[in-house]
Amino acid sequence: GGETMSTPFTEVYNSFLGNVRDYSIATLYQNDPTAYEQEMRDLLLKATVNFPNASDSVNSISINTSTFEKELAFHDIVILGKLMAIEYLTPFILDETVTRLRLNSRDYRTYSQGNHAQALQNIKTELHNEVNRSLSRTSYSLKSIKELFGGNS
């Protein structure tokens, strides 16, 4: 129904899923819809917290109805999807980095996911850049998004 001026969380979830090709999410969705919903909602809530100068719409979250009570602009949905993806990728990057530190370099090279951490880091950096570009195209006055996520990552 286009008559209500609210945005269901699922619209943002779809935007997020477009950024992350991950079968474990699909599996979770099939095996445990409740856990999937919880995971997605946690990521979404973190994304809204990390949204620089968030509009009233972005802040109009209603957990009970799983909607934004005000209609989200398309660019807000896109940015939230990317912020969710950044949240989602971070623990994997940390995990991979720890694994790499524990193995000596020869073992790590043969370790099947040898370049995985760097690949994830590249995706994350690219998402940062896209969020920055999206924000600078809109009317937000922006502190560097990197500040929000810490460090030079």
- Residue of higher predicted confidence among 34 and 122: 34
Q: Closest by alpha carbon to 117, among 101, 138, 133?
A: 101
When pLDDT is cut at 50, 70 and 90, the band that residue 56 belongs to is very high
Cα gap 102→111, rounded to integer Å: 11
**Section 25-36 average pLDDT:** 85
Whether 44 has a pLDDT exceeding 80, the answer reads yes
Which of the pair, 99 or 18, is modelled with greater confidence? 18
What is the sign, positive or negative, of the torsion defined by CA atoms of 113, 36, 63, 71? positive
Please tell me which residue, 28 or 103, carries the higher pLDDT value.
28
Higher pLDDT, 53 or 143: 53
Residue with the bigger pLDDT between 69 and 105: it is 69
- Residue 81 pLDDT exceeds 70: yes
* Sole residue written with tokens 């909602």: 41
End-to-end CA separation in angstroms for the chain: 41
Which positions ≥6 away from 79 have C-beta within 8 Å? 51, 131, 134, 135
What is the pLDDT of the chain when averaged over all its residues?
A: 78
- Give the per-residue pLDDT at 149: 54
Specify the range with the lowest mean pLDDT, choosing from 23-27, 40-44, 86-90: 23-27
Kindly indicate the confidence band of residue 2, based on its pLDDT and cuts at 50, 70 and 90: very low
Res. 27 pLDDT band, cuts 50 70 90: confident
What pLDDT score does 71 carry? Answer: 94
Comparing CA positions, the residue from 32, 41, 33, 34 lying closest to residue 13 is 41
